[in-house]
Amino acid sequence: MQILRTAAAMARRSARWDRKVAFVPTMGALHDGHLSLVHEARRQVGKRGAVVVSIFVNPLQFGPNEDLSRYPRPLARDLRLCREAGVDAVFLPSPEDLTPAGQSVFVDESLLSAGLCGASRPGHFRGVCTIVLKLFNLVRPDVAVFGQKDWQQLAIIRRMVRDLNVPVRLVGAPTHREADGLAMSSRNVYLSPEERAQAPALRRALQSGAELIRKGETSTARVLAAARKVLAREAPLGRIDYLELVDADTLASTRRLPAQPLLAAAVFFGRTRLIDNLAVVAAE
């Protein structure tokens, strides 16, 4: 497994790719969710292709009062997991490499970024898009794999790729969960035992809303009320940042059920902010 520690080394390497490349951008602190993306990347390019993982805690996507400084960085373990998962190359750029002093060009998606996480984390998706585009330019992948856990992020990156003609094919991979339904996240380690015990209620709340939709409910307010009730009952330590029913494509919310309903939520447990979503597929 090759380790590339600078943008220049990565660019030199990718100028010489002689096989298909699948790319998985991450912020490290790898868990089975990340590894499921690595396996999907391998499926996309086969044995003869190359799988590249980047590990970069992107300062541009953290707000001033967020967890940039305490974000976990278990690098040796991450590298071991990548090696064991059959990754061909790991890209480990430094902040100086990807966020040069005086940078004055950024990528701003202006429509899908407005709501959900974009509303509570101003500048977050600008930071994501800017760094993901830079990573694409340096790694030059044929395919890039992103998790549906970050549904809004995937939708925004799809839009960036479409609108800026970025030559990469995007693949979305399903959310990997703990046995009790909690979506795996590098941030789960911040949870106290009490918070950890209540956190799976986030998934159950979304499921209860989805169940109402499947039973024929068409009022957004009633669907959200059902989900909110589950959170109030089962996760008293949780504080809802947002809980919304939007269209899975446009991310727009409406009073009546959207064409492709997506339930999405962010909930704070103490200072830890967890997100999850559920795309409701109509029962056949």
Active site residue ranges: 34
Shortest distance, CB of residue 232 to ligand AMP, whole angstroms? 25
Q: Which of 183, 205, 245, 275 binds ligand AMP (CB under 6 A)?
A: 183
Q: Which residues of 112-126 are buried (b: 16+ CB within 10 A; e: fewer)?
A: bbebbbbeebebbbb
Say whether residue 257 binds ligand AMP (CB under 6 A): no
In the complex with ligand AMP, the residue whose CB is nearer, 202 or 224, is 202
Q: Which of 49, 118, 147, 238 binds ligand AMP (CB under 6 A)?
A: 147
Judged by CB under 6 A, the chain residues 11 through 40 that form the site for ligand AMP are 26-27, 33-34, 36-37
Q: How far apart are CA 30 and CA 27, in angstroms?
A: 8
Q: Which of 14, 44, 113, 185 binds ligand AMP (CB under 6 A)?
A: 185
Q: Which of 152, 186, 198, 277 binds ligand AMP (CB under 6 A)?
A: 186
Query: How big is the chain by its Cα radius of gyration, in Å?
Result: 19
The window from 74-82, 144-152, 235-243, 256-264 that contacts ligand AMP (CB under 6 A) reads: 144-152
In the complex with ligand AMP, the residue whose CB is nearer, 34 or 42, is 34
Q: Which of 135, 184, 243, 262 binds ligand AMP (CB under 6 A)?
A: 184
Shortest distance, CB of residue 184 to ligand AMP, whole angstroms? 4
Say whether residue 152 binds ligand AMP (CB under 6 A): no
Q: How many CB atoms lie within 10 A of CB 236?
A: 11
Q: What is the x/- site pattern for ligand AMP, positions 98-137, by CB under 6 A? A: ----------------------------------------
- For residue 226 the two structure tokens come to 């059902």
Task: Give the binding-site size for ligand AMP (rule: CB under 6 A).
Answer: 17
Judged by CB under 6 A, the chain residues 35 through 74 that form the site for ligand AMP are 36-37
Shortest distance, CB of residue 202 to ligand AMP, whole angstroms? 13
Q: Give the residues lining the site for ligand AMP (CB under 6 A).
A: 26-27, 33-34, 36-37, 146-147, 149-150, 173, 175-176, 183-186
